């Protein structure tokens, strides 16, 4: 098995004690990675892309994300905060990103390195690639949202070749921040330096622990934005007292970089009008379906964000994504266009050095190690699927009849667990025995059993 599948870490996880088995998450998971069995949800690791959609929709707060505590900074002699640009949109009434960056120092970080800075370099490099390289796949797909990269890997293998082969901005930021710290503090070893990402979403935590496209991440820990936010708030009055004009100037990115916080920010920096930007999982799936059907091949670039609004909509943020987006737009107003550019010396740091493989191939092979048996099981699976009602009700705990048929073949479910098949069987029994019909709840009656009931 390649490193893409053996190295499985997931930030999104389930608290079985809180799960009520309501199947809300089952129906919303974009990769059909959730099943409810014996009244509790479970996640199929190979299919989960850590998009956080199930965290967002669970009415019982049974899904949550794993990330590092802020105290992780105490384990390093020098700690560097990597704030995602979405962090700036969480605060009302701030005039400059310098206020947030200085608050991070008050919080205990020794330095800050804006992810927006690396985003500008990625934008610059992308522009260069699009101008200079011939035979590029069309359209190129952004690799910045790790949930989208994983979605493509699981569901759209033929589009893997359209993904940009650049590391995401946060990874580049970590690499540059670590190198800067090593130069400025030659007395320190790399393990003395903690490069800590302030993350808006679980997918980025997963990307740090189990990267795709590159071997190992230089991010040492990821702390959720929602954990850092209240602590930063505590320091804002102190910063206000110092006065913005007297604060150390830490801002090192311009409009291009901070715009990556919202949908369309990355694409607009490419100076082409021939792009598409979509956000929110349903829209992302719709665009990828269209691409798969070769309906968008005339575009140069596609930016996709799994969260509505872009990274400002991540499940680990605190503010409404549209409010956060408006705030970032206001902050951008007095910023320079861009302060960072790609340099050829960065080529090794910015370019992926591993391929991204299709994950489902491995999963399908697992039906059986024997090829002929696998083909026969696939045929049986199809047969079971065709015998099911095809209404994808989710009552069996699987998201669709097709997924249920696969579960039956894998031995994870029994065909009799289909509630509609059960209804039909009970209906048949009721034809022979009237009393049985009275015991079938109304929603599960096929009609034949309603003999004595009124219809009001």
Which of 34-42, 166-174, 185-193, 285-293 is the region at the interface with ligand SF4 (rule: CB under 6 A)? 34-42
CA distance 226 to 48: 23
Question: Which of 52-60, 66-74, 116-124, 135-143 is the region at the interface with ligand SF4 (rule: CB under 6 A)?
Answer: 52-60
Residue 127, C-beta contacts closer than 8 angstroms, at least 6 positions apart? 269, 270, 271
Pairing of strands 78-83, 193-199: parallel
Give the number of other CB atoms < 10 A from CB of residue 241: 8
CB atoms within 10 A of CB 120: 27
- The distance of closest approach from Cβ of residue 163 to ligand SF4 in the complex, given in angstroms and rounded to an integer, is 18
Spatial distance between the Cα atoms of 57 and 253, rounded to a whole number of angstroms? 34
325-356 exposure pattern, b = at least 16 Cβ within 10 A, e = fewer: bebbbebbeebeebbbebeeebeebbebeeeb
**Among the listed residues 5, 8, 13, 20, the single contact to ligand SF4 using CB under 6 A:** 20
Smallest gap from Cβ 412 to ligand SF4, in A, equals 16
149 binds ligand SF4 (CB under 6 A): no
Q: Which residue stretch of 21-29, 125-133, 159-167, 346-354 sits at the interface with ligand SF4 (rule: CB under 6 A)?
A: 21-29
Give me the least distance between CB of 54 and ligand SF4, in Å please: 3
Choose the stretch contacting ligand SF4; rule: CB under 6 A; options: 51-59, 86-94, 157-165, 187-195. Answer: 51-59
Of 12-20, 129-137, 315-323, 416-424, the segment contacting ligand SF4 by CB under 6 A is 12-20
10 Å Cβ neighbour count for 111?
19
Residue from the set 29, 81, 403, 418 that interacts with ligand SF4 by CB under 6 A? 29
Q: Which of 4, 35, 54, 212 binds ligand SF4 (CB under 6 A)?
A: 54
Should residue 50 be labelled a site residue for ligand SF4 when binding is judged by CB under 6 A? Answer: yes
Taking the complex as a whole, how short is the minimal distance between the CB of residue 14 and ligand SF4, in angstroms?
Answer: 6
209 lies in the site for ligand SF4, by CB under 6 A: no
> What does the alpha-carbon distance between residue 305 and residue 149 come to, in Å, rounded to a whole number?
10
- Residue from 53, 155, 303, 406 that binds ligand SF4 (CB under 6 A)? 53
Provide the minimum distance between the beta carbon of 260 and ligand SF4 in the complex, in angstroms, as a whole number. 22
Task: Give yes or no for residue 34 binding ligand SF4 (CB under 6 A).
Answer: yes
Binding of residue 41 to ligand SF4 (CB under 6 A): yes
Give me the phi and psi of 245, to 5 degrees please.
-65, -25
Nearer to ligand SF4, 53 or 220 (CB): 53
Assess 25 for contact with ligand SF4 (CB under 6 A).
Answer: yes
Provide the sign of the torsion angle of the four alpha carbons 423, 428, 433, 437, taken in this order: positive
Nearer to ligand SF4, 31 or 352 (CB): 31
Out of 4, 37, 42, 43, name the contact with ligand SF4 by CB under 6 A. Answer: 43
**Which parts of this chain interact with ligand SF4 (CB under 6 A)?**
12, 14, 19-25, 29-31, 33-34, 36, 41, 43, 48-54, 58, 60, 62-63
């Amino acid at each position: 098995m390649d490193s893409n599948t053996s190295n499985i870490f997931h930030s999104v996880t389930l608290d079985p004690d809180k799960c009520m088995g309501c199947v809300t998450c089952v129906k919303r998971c974009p990769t059909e990675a959730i099943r409810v069995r014996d009244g509790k949800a479970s996640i199929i690791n190979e299919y989960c892309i850590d998009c956080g959609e199930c965290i967002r929709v669970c009415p019982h707060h049974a899904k949550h994300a794993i990330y590092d505590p802020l105290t992780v900074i105490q384990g390093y002699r020098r700690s560097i905060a990597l704030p995602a640009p979405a962090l700036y949109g969480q605060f009302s009434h701030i005039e400059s990103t310098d206020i947030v960056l200085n608050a991070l120092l008050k919080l205990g970080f020794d330095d800050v390195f804006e992810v927006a800075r690396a985003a500008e370099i990625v934008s610059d490099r992308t522009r260069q690639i699009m101008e200079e390289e011939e035979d590029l796949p069309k359209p190129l797909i952004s690799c910045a949202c790790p949930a989208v990269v994983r979605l493509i890997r699981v569901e759209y293998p033929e589009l893997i070749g359209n993904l940009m082969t650049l590391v995401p901005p946060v990874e580049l930021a970590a690499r540059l921040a670590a190198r800067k710290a090593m130069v400025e503090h030659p007395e320190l070893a790399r393990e003395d330096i903690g490069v800590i990402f302030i993350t808006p979403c679980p997918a980025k935590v997963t990307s740090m622990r189990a990267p795709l496209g590159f071997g190992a991440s230089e991010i040492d820990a990821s702390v959720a934005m929602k954990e850092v936010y209240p602590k930063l708030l505590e320091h804002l009055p102190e910063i206000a007292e110092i006065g913005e004009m007297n604060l150390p100037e830490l801002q090192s990115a311009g409009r291009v970089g901070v715009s990556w916080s919202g949908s369309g920010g990355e694409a607009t920096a490419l100076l082409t009008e021939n792009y598409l930007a979509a956000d929110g999982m349903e829209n992302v799936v719709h665009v990828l379906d269209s691409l798969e059907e070769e309906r968008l091949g005339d575009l140069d670039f596609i930016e996709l964000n799994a969260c509505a609004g872009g990274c400002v909509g991540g499940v680990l943020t605190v503010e409404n994504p549209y409010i956060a987006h408006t705030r970032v737009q206001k902050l951008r107003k007095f910023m320079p266009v861009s302060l960072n550019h790609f340099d050829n010396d960065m080529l090794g740091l910015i370019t992926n050095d591993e391929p991204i493989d299709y994950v489902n191939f491995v999963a399908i092979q697992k039906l059986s190690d024997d090829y002929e048996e696998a083909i026969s099981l696939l045929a049986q699976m199809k047969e079971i699927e065709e015998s099911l009602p095809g209404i994808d009700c989710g009552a069996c705990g699987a998201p669709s009849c097709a997924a249920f048929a696969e579960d039956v073949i894998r031995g994870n479910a029994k065909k009799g667990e289909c509630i509609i098949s059960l209804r039909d069987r009970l209906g048949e029994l009721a034809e022979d025995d009237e009393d049985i019909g009275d015991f079938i709840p109304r929603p599960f009656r096929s009609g034949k059993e309603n003999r004595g009931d009124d219809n009001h």
